Amino acid sequence: MIRFSANLGFLWNDRPLPDAIRAAHAAGFAAVECHWPYETPAEEVRAALDDTGLPMLGLNTLRGNPGENGLAALAGREVEARAAIDQAIRYANAVGARAIHVMAGFSGGEEAAQTFKSNLAYATAQTERTILIEPLNRHDAPGYFLETTDQARAIIESVDAPNLKLMFDCYHVGRTEGDVMTRLTDLLPLIGHIQFASVPDRGAPDHGELNYPAIFSHIAALGWTAPLGAEFKPRTADHIFNWIKPLSSIAPA
């Protein structure tokens, strides 16, 4: 049986985070994840998680200044990047989040690559929780340092830390690289979390270019059992969960 995690950066983001957690539970999600929860006291999030029994799968490091999209690959910003990593670790510890997505930011070149790897080495040494990196597609995030899964693989292998993993978002991979099922198979040993949304509109997984029944069946056949992250933009409130029941029953291919 396929299980799903509600990404509360997009789903129920019109309400306080504790209320969004409870809404996700009521809609049948097996877990939650978020983007930047830091304005909500950690004890309130922890209470909602305890009330519902849902695990928090992950959260992001801060984006930085307005218009930025992460700090970890920005040369000369190491102090800020590591402060953001420390903040994320503290919050993750307080709410029991399993993973932290360290956001790279808008940059490029060898200096950025070395800066990113150095900050990731710092992050992985500070916690036993999973540290995630995620390639973002060039259409939605032009200029983002981390663009492809091949680039992410090279970085993960270079840093060589057991808790550094790939966040594989089927949406981003589908828009940039395609051949999502082959990439999933090839990268499985490096993957720490899987997310999804329709291509190209980033909506629910019941339409678009990607055949999600086939993809979810393939993921199940690979032996993946963790909840899959629903990081999509819903068209209506009801549409958030209409697809869950039929897609939850998909069997391995």
Whether 128 is catalytic is no
Residue 189 to residue 77: CA distance in whole angstroms: 31
The DSSP line for 165-234 is: EEEEEHHHHHHHT--HHHHHHHHGGGEEEEEE--TTT---TTSSSS-HHHHHHHHHHTT--SPEEE----
Q: Provide mean pLDDT across the span 77-99.
A: 98
The CATH code that applies to domain 4-248 is: 3.20.20.150
Q: State residue 248's pLDDT score.
A: 72
pLDDT tens-digit profile of 186-227? 999 999 999 999 999 999 998 999 999 999 999 999 999 999
The pLDDT of residue 243 is above 80: no
The answer to which of 22-26, 125-129, 183-187, 241-245 has the lowest mean pLDDT is 241-245
Q: Among residues 128, 157, 209, 231, which one is catalytic?
A: 231
Buried b (16+ CB within 10 A) or exposed e, 159-182: beeebbbbbbbbbbbbbbbeebbe
The pLDDT of residue 6 is above 60: yes
Residue 81 to residue 103: CA distance in whole angstroms: 9
Contact indicator for 142, 108 with CB cutoff of 8 Å: no
What does the mean pLDDT of the chain come to? 95
The answer to which of 37-46, 86-95, 144-153, 203-212 has the lowest mean pLDDT is 203-212
Going from N- to C-terminal start, the domains of the chain cover: 4-248
Q: Among residues 134, 147, 177, 209, which one is catalytic?
A: 134
The pLDDT of residue 67 is above 60: yes
Q: Provide mean pLDDT across the span 43-58.
A: 98
The pLDDT of residue 120 is above 70: yes
Whether 209 is catalytic is no
Q: Provide mean pLDDT across the span 17-46.
A: 97
